[in-house]
Each structure stands twice: as C-alpha cells, then as structure tokens.
C-alpha cells in the first residue's frame, strides 16, 4: 500500500511529532492493513502536484462519523485546515447518512482546535484515553451537527 507507507514515513516537527504514525502503533497497524483502504482510510491527493496531500480515517456508526485526518507535514500551518476539514465532512456526507461528526484532538493543539472551530466544531469534554499496549493520553472531544452550515 504505497499511500500508507508514505504517510507512515511522514515526520512532524515537535511538538506535533506525537502525530507521527509510529507514535501510535494501533493506528499504524490499522492504516497498514490493505483491507482498510478505502473503507476506513483514504488518501487525499494534491490536485496541483498529483502527490499525496493528506489522509482521512473515517469510522461511521450510529449516525455519527468520527474523523481522523492529517495533512502532509509541509502543508501544515498554512491555513489549509478549515478547508480540509470541510472537504472531509462533504466526502463523509456523500457516503453515509449521519447526524453528527466527532473527533478527538490533543487539548494543547490550539492550531488544530482553531481549524476545527472554524469548521463548526464545538469543544466538549477532556478525557483520558488508555491504550491497549499501555500508556494513556489526554484528548479533547469535539463535535458538530452533520448538516452543512
């Protein structure tokens, strides 16, 4: 899976290096599984260059789609986030009948939180997620209605 291998090789500068795929072995394993493409994981092409611009991880259930998304490291911090989030939601609306979007973000990542808020997401609870291999991290849950607006 060339797109998965490319994303797995991306490296973000600190403190965003927590988003490097090897930092989350469970996500890396899911992403590297060919059967998950394109049912859960999706490549996002850069229409200008034809290269890989980002990825989506979309998990649908009970009228809600949980969004996971990432831009190629060289594209971050350029104000592309809100448009990327909007395009992701439109893509999900075309695939599923849903009432709500949800996502988790590190509470310290104000850059991402601002992009999500511009796309209509509201801050929710901060919670601790425990991982199967041990360890835990704090996340902020954000949600918004699925209808465009």
Q: CATH for 2-145? A: 3.40.630.30
- Give the pLDDT confidence of 29-66 residue by residue, as tens digits: 899 998 889 889 999 998 788 889 999 999 999 899 99
Residue-level length of the chain: 149
Residues 6+ apart with CB under 8 A from 46: 52, 53, 72
Question: Mean pLDDT, to the nearest integer, of 64-86?
Answer: 92
Domain coordinates in residue numbering, the chain: 2-145
Question: 0.85 cut: is pTM over it?
Answer: yes
Instruction: Name which of 97, 98, 87 is nearest 56 in CA terms.
Output: 87
């Amino acid at each position: 899976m060339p797109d998965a291998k490319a994303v797995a090789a991306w490296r973000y500068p600190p403190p965003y290096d927590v988003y490097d795929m090897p930092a989350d072995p469970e996500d890396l394993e899911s992403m590297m599984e060919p059967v998950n493409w394109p049912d859960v994981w999706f490549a996002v092409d850069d229409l200008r260059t034809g290269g890989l611009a980002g990825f989506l991880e979309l998990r649908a259930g009970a009228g809600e789609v949980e969004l996971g998304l990432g831009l190629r490291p060289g594209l971050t911090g350029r104000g592309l986030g809100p448009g990327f989030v909007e395009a992701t939601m439109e893509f999900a609306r075309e695939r599923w009948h849903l009432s709500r979007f949800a996502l988790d973000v590190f509470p310290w990542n104000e850059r991402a939180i601002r992009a999500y808020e511009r796309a209509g997401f509201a801050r929710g609870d901060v919670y601790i997620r425990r991982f199967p291999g041990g360890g835990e991290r704090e996340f902020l849950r954000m949600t918004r209605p699925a209808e465009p607006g």
